[in-house]
């Protein structure tokens, strides 16, 4: 009953987040949350969903990713001008970004330590610290 287990996991996850478990949200959540951490763009998830015979529109994919993000189930990662990535790992961690391929990879939050960040100005508080390690291929690429 793996399939049923997955389904109910995802179902309770949506319920816990206060999101109505619609067919599209359930299907997208299953793609996203089953099988480890993922980093997707809206377009990529849309293509993947279609390939998996999930009937959903691109607009709904965008809406859903933002709803999941607002609900704390995902995190938006900004690394590429003109394209947003969404990360199924919403805990505190950092990223490698492979500039040539556009691939994002997690760096566990505990492994990195930061010192010397100045305090934020009065009246403000740090909401998040992003560390993005941009990586490029060593060998010729042109």
Q: In what order do the strands lie in the sheet with 83-87?
A: 39-41, 83-87, 75-80
Q: Which stretch binds DNA (CB under 7 A): 15-23, 31-39, 100-108, 126-134?
A: 15-23
Tally of CB atoms within 10 A around 105 = 13
Residues 92-111 that bind a second copy (CB under 8 A): 96, 98-99, 107, 111
Q: Does 59 bind DNA (CB under 7 A)?
A: yes
Q: Which stretch binds DNA (CB under 7 A): 19-27, 32-40, 117-125, 132-140?
A: 19-27
Q: Does 58 bind DNA (CB under 7 A)?
A: yes
Task: Calculate helix-pair angle for 23-33, 42-51, nearest 10 degrees.
Answer: 100
- Give the span between the Cα atoms of 86 and 12, in whole angstroms: 21
Helix (H, G, I), strand (E, B) or coil at 52: coil
Asked if 37 contacts 106 with a C-beta cutoff of 8 angstroms, the reply is: yes
Closest contact distance (angstroms) between CB of 61 and DNA is 8
Token code pair at residue 118:
């100045």
Give 138's DSSP letter: S
Q: Does 78 bind a second copy (CB under 8 A)?
A: yes
Q: Does 23 bind DNA (CB under 7 A)?
A: yes
What is the contact surface with a second copy in residues (CB under 8 A)? 76, 78-82, 84, 96, 98-99, 107, 111-118, 120-121, 123-139
What is the contact surface with DNA in residues (CB under 7 A)? 19-25, 41-43, 55-60, 62-64, 66, 81-84
């Amino acid at each position: 009953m793996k399939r049923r287990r997955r389904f109910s996991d995802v179902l309770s996850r949506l319920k816990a987040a206060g999101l109505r478990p619609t067919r599209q949200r359930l299907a997208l959540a299953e793609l996203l949350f089953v099988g480890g951490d993922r980093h997707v763009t809206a377009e990529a998830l849309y293509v993947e969903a279609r390939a998996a015979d999930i009937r959903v529109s691109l607009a709904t994919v965008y809406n859903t990713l933002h709803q999941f993000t607002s609900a704390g189930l995902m995190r938006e990662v900004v690394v590429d001008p003109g394209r947003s990535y969404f990360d199924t790992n919403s805990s505190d961690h950092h990223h490698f970004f492979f500039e040539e391929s556009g691939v994002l990879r997690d760096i566990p939050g505990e492994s990195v330590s930061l010192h010397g960040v100045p305090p934020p100005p009065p009246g403000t508080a740090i909401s998040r610290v992003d560390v993005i390690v941009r990586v490029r291929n060593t060998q010729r690429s042109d």
